[in-house]
Amino acid sequence: MTAETINGIPDTGTDTGTDAGLNARLTAGDEAALEECLRAHTALIRSYLRKYVPPQEVEDVQQVVFAEVWRSRHRFDPLRSLPAWLLGIAHKRAVDHLRVRRLHTVPLESTAEPAGPAEAADGDGLADRDEMRRALAELPAPQREAIELAYYGELTQREISERLGVPLGTVKARTARGLRRLADILTPAAA
């Protein structure tokens, strides 16, 4: 017996009587049903997103997918396949994510301020800035983008959220992860 596939991904969550109950509870707004849905279908969604989204961004897009599942639960027909509906949302969010990523990627060169006369005279200032550029280049694009917009673009996290079209929590998570990673990258360099 072969497993059914949805968009090339094995459908591990074929709707059974139990799934029909989960579907109805989700549609009715039962938060516990969302948690069950998350547990049951996270692997499927993650596997699907890995086909389209860079690995370091899969978790962020997955959060957006399940947030949309909750927001649009009233539009889901409990008699239809939940995994297929989830994959449809995942596909739309992956496409949106890639589109926004391409449109809003701000190169460091366009946001960094040129060296002032004091910095140009001070070789250490230029070395520090070059070191920071190299460290930022090692970050995943979403983390680098959030940090660049915050520090070079002088935007608040809420403004970054609005500009990129992603939830505020996602911006905060990207910034925090990026800063931790920058610290790890720069600490050995300083030692």
Q: Where in the chain is the domain with CATH 1.10.1740.10?
A: 13-104
pLDDT at 134: 84
| Residues 124-169 pLDDT 10s | 566 677 788 888 888 898 988 888 888 777 788 888 888 889 998 8
Q: What gap in Å lies between CA 33 and CA 54, rounded to an integer?
A: 29
- What are the helix and strand counts (H, E) for the chain? 10, 2
Residue 75 or residue 7, greater confidence: 75
Q: Which CATH number fits domain 13-104: 1.20.1250.20, 2.30.30.140, 3.30.70.270, 1.10.1740.10?
A: 1.10.1740.10
| Residues 44-57 pLDDT 10s | 999 999 988 888 88
pLDDT at 129: 73
Residue type, 135: A
Q: Where in the chain is the domain with CATH 1.10.10.10?
A: 108-190
pLDDT band, very low/low/confident/very high, at 16 (cuts 50, 70, 90): very low
Residue 40 or residue 107, greater confidence: 40
pLDDT at 93 over 70: yes
CB-CB contact of 65 with 36 (8 Å):
no
pLDDT at 7: 46
What angle do the packed helices 123-137 and 141-151 form, to 10 degrees?
A: 140
**SS3 for 56?**
helix
Q: Which fold has domain 108-190?
A: Arc Repressor Mutant, subunit A (1.10.10)
